Amino acid sequence: MKRILVGVKRVIDFNVRVKVKPDGSGIVTDGVKLSLNPFDEIALEEALRIKERGGADEVVVATIGPADCQQQLRTALAMGADRALHVVHEGTIEPLAGARVLLKLIDKEQPFLVILGKQAIDDDNNQTGQMLAALWQRPQATFASKVELTDSTARVTREVDAGLETLEVDLPAVVTADLRLNEPRYVKLPDIMKAKKKPLESLPFADLGVSAAARVKMVRTEPPAQRQKGIMVKDTQELIAALRKRGALQ
């Protein structure tokens, strides 16, 4: 069976205004809306489109997180994924540990393609996809804005600083999705109801033989400095004078 594995992560919804805890130990998560990482939604949408074009037989979505992550997995199933894998773990997972967990799932599922979001909007690490490809010893194509598949290769257009770059990689491979790859579909109520009956398998993190030991210690979290209030100027001369006063002009 031709299978695509999509890795997703639960994050604070992008519409939420993030607040730092008073003691600087992290950000406030109590009572905050949590959603699928937007880049992972794009990755899932691309996998579903590949399947709808006949390029795959099954789309499996996977996440690592606490028990209530199943809500986000049900959203992914409502979008159209066939099955879900939930690696149950309380606490933070760093990118390397996440990549090692995904490698275990690859050994279990044997996908011909793994698609992830290029980064998660909570930590912005942009590391898991690259680490997974290295551990799996398979090609990678990151920051994809277009994906075209043949029986044995993936032709990926990727966004780089200088413009667009096109790579052709052998399958199996890892692809990470960029913002302009597609626009995820809207989930309808009937699809949400159908998703409740789709298979969702829970896997204890400890059974995978992967260490979750942290390599980076978060010392303190601080909000960004407040922006200075703007001023109105009457003409160009007053603008130049104001810029010189601030040291922006010599």
With a pLDDT cut of 70, the percent of the chain lying above it is 100
Q: Which residues, 6+ apart, have CB-to-CB distance to 116 below 8 Å?
A: 6, 7, 39, 40, 43, 128, 129, 132, 174, 175, 176, 177
3-state helix, strand, coil in the chain (%, to 5): 30, 25, 40
Read off the pLDDT of residues 77-110 as tens digits, 9 standing for 90 and up.
Answer: 999 999 999 999 988 889 999 999 999 999 999 9
Taking CA atoms, 121 is separated from 14, 92, 114, 190, in Å, by 8, 15, 20, 29
Quote the CA–CA distance of 250 and 247 in Å, as a whole number: 7
With a pLDDT cut of 90, the percent of the chain lying above it is 62
Read off the pLDDT of residues 42-61 as tens digits, 9 standing for 90 and up.
Answer: 999 999 999 999 999 999 99
Domain ranges of the chain: 3-245
3-245 folds as Rossmann fold (3.40.50)
What number of other Cβ atoms are within 10 A of residue 69's Cβ? 22
The pTM (predicted TM-score) of the whole model is 0.85
State residue 230's pLDDT score. 81
Read off the pLDDT of residues 9-24 as tens digits, 9 standing for 90 and up.
Answer: 999 888 888 888 888 8
| Phi, psi of 11, deg, nearest 5 | -135, 170
